A = this chain, B = another copy of it.
Amino acid sequence: MEDKLETDMYGQGAIIEAFEKKMASYLRKEKTVFFPSGTMAQQIALRIWCDQKNLKKVAYHPLSHLEIHEEDGLKKLHLIEPVLLADEKRVITLEDVTSMNEDVACLLLELPQREIGGQLPDYDTLEAISTYCRAKGIKLHLDGARLLEVLPFYNKTAAEISNLFDSVYVSVYKGIGGIAGAILAGDQVFTEESKKWKRRHGGDLISLYPYVISAAYYFNLRVNKMEQYYNDAKELASFFNQCDTVETKPIVPVSNMFHVHLDWSKEKVAPILIAIMEDTGIGITNHIKEISAKSCYFEVSVGDLYAKIPKETLRNVFDKLDVQLRKIGE
List the interface of chain A (C-beta within 8 A of B): 35-41, 43, 70-73, 76-78, 173, 179-181, 196-197, 199-211
Residue on B nearest A37 in the bound complex, by CB: B202
Are A202 and B71 interface neighbours, CB within 8 A? no
Q: How far is the CB of A310 from chain B (nearest CB, A)?
A: 20
Q: Which residues of B contact A77 (CB under 8 A)?
A: 77-78, 200-201
Are A205 and B71 interface neighbours, CB within 8 A? no
Contacts A37-B204, A180-B207 given; 5 further ones with Cβ under 8 A? A37-B205, A43-B202, A201-B203, A202-B203, A203-B203
Residue on B nearest A39 in the bound complex, by CB: B202
Are A202 and B201 interface neighbours, CB within 8 A? yes
Sample 17 A-B pairs with CB under 8 A, ordered by A number.
A35-B202, A36-B202, A37-B205, A40-B202, A70-B202, A71-B196, A73-B199, A73-B200, A73-B201, A179-B207, A179-B209, A180-B206, A180-B208, A181-B205, A201-B201, A201-B203, A210-B210
Q: How far is the CB of A46 from chain B (nearest CB, A)?
A: 12
Among A197, A204, A208: residue with most chain B CB under 10 A: A204
Q: Which residues of B contact A208 (CB under 8 A)?
A: 180
Residue on B nearest A72 in the bound complex, by CB: B200
Q: Which residues of B contact A173 (CB under 8 A)?
A: 206-207
Q: Which residues of B contact A204 (CB under 8 A)?
A: 37, 39
Are B200 and A71 interface neighbours, CB within 8 A? yes
Once bound together, how far apart are the Cα atoms of A199 and B126, in whole Å?
30
Are B70 and A199 interface neighbours, CB within 8 A? yes
| In the complex, the 4 A-B pairs of residues with the closest C-beta atoms, listed nearest first | A40-B202, A73-B200, A210-B210, A39-B202
Known: A205-B180, A210-B210, A211-B210. Is A200-B70 also a contact (CB below 8 A)?
Answer: yes
Once bound together, how far apart are the Cα atoms of A77 and B43, in whole Å?
11
Once bound together, how far apart are the Cα atoms of A208 and B37, in whole Å?
11
Q: Which residues of B contact A201 (CB under 8 A)?
A: 39-40, 73, 77, 201-203
Are B37 and A71 interface neighbours, CB within 8 A? no
Q: How far is the CB of A243 from chain B (nearest CB, A)?
A: 27
Q: How far is the CB of A153 from chain B (nearest CB, A)?
A: 25
Q: Which residues of B contact A78 (CB under 8 A)?
A: 77
Residue on B nearest A200 in the bound complex, by CB: B73
Q: Which residues of B contact A207 (CB under 8 A)?
A: 173, 179-180
